[in-house]
Amino acid sequence: MNRFSTPQCHSCPSYHLSLLHCCGKDEQEEIGLHKTAQQYVAGQVIFREGSRALGLYCVHDGIIKISKTGGDGKEQIVRLAKGGDMLGYRGLVTGTLHSASAVALDTCTVCLVRKEDFFQEMSNNSVFSNGLIQLLSKTLGETEERMLHLAYKPVRERLAEALLLLLRTYRSKDQPDSLSFSITREDLGALMGTTKETSTRMLSEFKAEGMLSTHGSAITILDTMRLVNIATQYD
């Protein structure tokens, strides 16, 4: 975990996607006076499930997994976060401990907005508070849909859906047509709601069918439309 110069909101490449774009220029400057930023490499923890919420986390760049650990000790990836996404707001709003962990999947930069500034915006900025409500609603809806798919979709369909999610998440405005990304088989299994062994076996099947190629942890999608057809077969 490295300290460096804190990025400014107005120059953030994901500014238009961030909840902080609901703040005015003066409010952003005030937030910027107190917020901090840190860089993380793949595998580093941003916050742990069960820890106290320190503030509002805003992803400047990079990919982060949000995961929970079941009673059997197995990890389940609930969602993925990228530039412009907010983390930790649920614990702040409810005054509870973090319900999930956030871990970097690659090199990323994350800003931390103070609790005081977060609650100041909630109290005095109706645009910000309305945006937060919409964000909570959107996240809840997406999580419910993913959990439903994990419960009822066969493993083959879940793999196709996970690969398409990873493709959308890793694509950037600099590389909008990129068809490649890297992920460990453990993380892919946790995203699918299955084991490393099953995810590895299913990947090999997809590779043999010509839908993708692999090189180490790197995956390149070769037939997007076929993955879409498999992922939506039971929708």
pLDDT of residue 165: 94
**Same domain assignment for residues 131 and 182:** no
Q: The domain containing residue 18 runs over which residues?
A: 2-146
pLDDT of residue 49: 95
88 contacts 81 by C-beta, under 8 angstroms: no
Q: What is the pTM of this model?
A: 0.88
Q: In which band, very low, low, confident or very high, does the pLDDT at 29 lie, cut at 50, 70 and 90?
A: confident
**Same domain assignment for residues 127 and 204:** no
The residues, any chain, with a CB within 8 Å of residue 33's CB and separated by 6 or more, are none
Q: Distance between CA 185 and CA 168 in Å, rounded?
A: 18
40 contacts 110 by C-beta, under 8 angstroms: yes
**Same domain assignment for residues 75 and 157:** no
Per-residue pLDDT of 189-235, as tens digits, reads 999 999 999 999 999 999 999 999 999 999 999 999 999 999 988 66
CATH code of the domain in which 164 resides: 1.10.10.10
**Same domain assignment for residues 80 and 39:** yes
Q: How many CB atoms are located within 10 Å of the residue 90 CB?
A: 17
Q: Which helix (H) or strand (E) holds 109?
A: strand 108-114
188: Cα separation from own chain's centroid? 14
**Same domain assignment for residues 37 and 141:** yes
Q: Give strand pairing partners of 37.
A: 111
